[in-house]
A and B are shown apart, each in its own frame.
Chain A
Amino acid sequence: MELFNEIIQTLLSGVSIGCIYGLVALGFVLIFKATEVINFAQGEMMVLGAFIALTLINVFGFSYWAALLLATVGLGIFGLILERLVLRSLIGEPVFAIVMLTIGLGYFVRSSVSMVPTWGTDTYGFTTPFTDKAARYGELVLSWEQLAIIFMTIALILILFAFFRYTRMGVAMRATSQNQLAAVYMGISVNRVFSLTWIISAAVGGFAGVLLSPITFVHMNMGFIGLKAFPAAVLGGFSSIPGAIVGGLIIGVTESLAGVYLPIGWKDVAAWIILIGVLIIRPQGLFGIQEKKKV
């Protein structure tokens, strides 16, 4: 029974961190599908989101929910500004130039965060409605902080799913990522689709940042978790939204199981071993599809 509880708790912490990986991977995938650019500043969106929520809660006395909402919306606006000011002028330039730019943006955001008064390079935390709460089922103790991450991720994914499935703009965004030329012939403004893609993925990044805060605390380098979300995205096929989430969960669970049951050091290697193994068997990733065109 004790072993069972331990496994459940390990799985729970794996799934909750996996949700975060999945959300960051989702940000990678959305932008890649629409613009064929990999946004290496995706992790920094989390940093900004977390710091905004931190300030709203600790300095201005907002509730956790209001801060979560405002940080998400705020990052959406940040994504819009970023796309309009920086990335739009680079449409049509070589992809590597744009990718380098996003790496630069990541550094820029991190350094800027360290310069903002009251933010700086220290580690902070804020209390949430879930802090120090646990759900008990007999011997089994589940942390509400982790459960909350899972539930909120599910909620966000359902919202995104409904948007891409049932709204005209959502279907148009999928259409544009499949065939940009045809989308132009339908009268879809590709610029607007690109803007919206950056808005959504920045907002998802901010949301993930606020969710992650109680676990890793808020500091300028929390965005490096993006480096683990990257294999999650590759594992899922890099162009599949469900794939990104599943990839994130696999990496998260593997990592936490390896952390508990394997010698020290395996925790960081395990995810990559899984990734290499999957890519040998299915080079296109778990949910990837090979391009085919009928003539």
Chain B
Amino acid sequence: MPLLQVRNIETYYGPIMAIKGVSLDVEEGDIVTILGANGAGKSTILKTISGVMDPEKGTIEFMDQRIDGMSPDKIVRMGITQVPEGREIFHDLTVKENLMMGAYLRKDRSETQEDLEIVHDYFPVLKARSSQLGGNMSGGEQQMLAIGRAIMATPKLLLLDEPSLGLAPFLVKEIFEIIKRVNDEQKTTILLVEQNALIALSLARIGYVLELGRIVKEDTCKELMENEDVKEFYLGVKEESIRGSKRWKRKKKWR
């Protein structure tokens, strides 16, 4: 039984169906990624899992327990924490207060303090700027703060929504290395949503390709990297035809 099991969920924004029957599994200890273009419904899947949006149909099971329709704070209590798209840090709280808000539901003071050390070890800049206001940090530092804040909740499943958004390439690399370390060292299962397909596929083990609210392909990331359609439409590898020019009218095979 996988840690997270999503079955045929359908989620609406008013009359618009954003998720059209998505199923996916996340095994314990794994890193799973969902690839897709703008508006494919990636973030909506994460919001549905974390309870911010409710699915009209379908089921979500986490540790053998139905969580669809639960209130978001109960879902956090069960061990699912989301790093939302666009950071969403608390601007007028200090860095330390931001991190401690991640541990809001925890009662174990000494372990919380140890986890604060761990987060400081992952992101030394957060220690150096402990008493600075979150809103005065740069974009990259805010992303680190958002991830650090989620680690403070010691989740079993960490949902990451576009952690590379708007960051310089070297920062993206740094952040993804830390995500990898969190998975290795804290044994945190990770579900990652990304537009940056190359880095997502090189980090994750299993990948799902999402187009217009449907999962069109599911495989190990190794296989996906070799897949012609993924290469051309997500990795931007241009393929030349026999005549030596780009084939503009090529159709994706999964359609």
A residues with CB within 8 A of B: 168, 171-172, 174-175, 178-179, 181-189, 292, 294-295
Contacts and interface: CB of A to CB of B under 8 A. Distances in A.
Given A178-B92, A179-B90, A181-B88, 17 more contacts: A168-B104, A171-B93, A174-B90, A175-B97, A178-B93, A181-B52, A182-B84, A185-B52, A185-B82, A186-B76, A186-B102, A186-B105, A186-B149, A186-B153, A187-B105, A188-B73, A295-B86
Contact of B101 (A171, A189, A295): A171
B187 interface: no
Interface string B82-98: 10101011111100010
Nearest to B105: A187
Nearest to A177: B92
Nearest to A169: B104
B236 interface: no
Contacts of A184: 52, 72-73
Contacts of B105: 186-187
Most buried by B among A179, A181, A185, A189: A185
A223 to B, nearest CB: 31
Contacts of A294: 135, 138-139, 142
B50 interface: yes
A292 B137 CA distance: 13
B100 interface: yes
Contacts of B135: 292, 294
Contacts of A181: 52, 84, 88
A174 B139 contact: no
B104 A174 contact: no
Contacts of B39: none
B77 interface: yes
Interface residues of B, number: 30
Contacts of A185: 50, 52, 72, 76, 81-82, 84, 88
Interface string B47-84: 00010100000000000000000011100110001101
3 closest residue pairs by CB, A with B: A187-B76, A182-B88, A187-B105
Contacts of A189: 71, 73
B219 to A, nearest CB: 30
A17 B92 CA distance: 31
A183 B139 CA distance: 19
B104 A187 contact: yes
Nearest to A182: B88
Contacts of B101: 171-172, 175, 183, 186, 188
Contacts of B81: 185, 187
Contacts of B138: 294
Interface in B24-50: 50
B166 interface: yes
A195 to B, nearest CB: 14
A188 B149 CA distance: 13
A179 to B, nearest CB: 6
A178 B153 CA distance: 20
A168 B135 CA distance: 20
Most buried by B among A178, A187, A292: A187
Contact of B89 (A172, A179, A188): A179
B112 to A, nearest CB: 11
Given A178-B90, A186-B76, A171 B100 contact: yes
A182 B101 CA distance: 10
A185 B84 CA distance: 8
A181 B102 CA distance: 13
B88 A179 contact: yes
Contacts of A178: 90-93
B88 A175 contact: no
A174 B84 contact: no
B139 A295 contact: yes
A100 B73 CA distance: 31
8 contacts: A168-B100, A171-B101, A174-B90, A184-B73, A186-B76, A186-B105, A188-B73, A294-B139
Given A185-B50, A187-B77, A187-B104, A175 B90 contact: yes
A145 B135 CA distance: 43
Nearest to B92: A178
Interface string B122-157: 000000000000010011001000000100010000
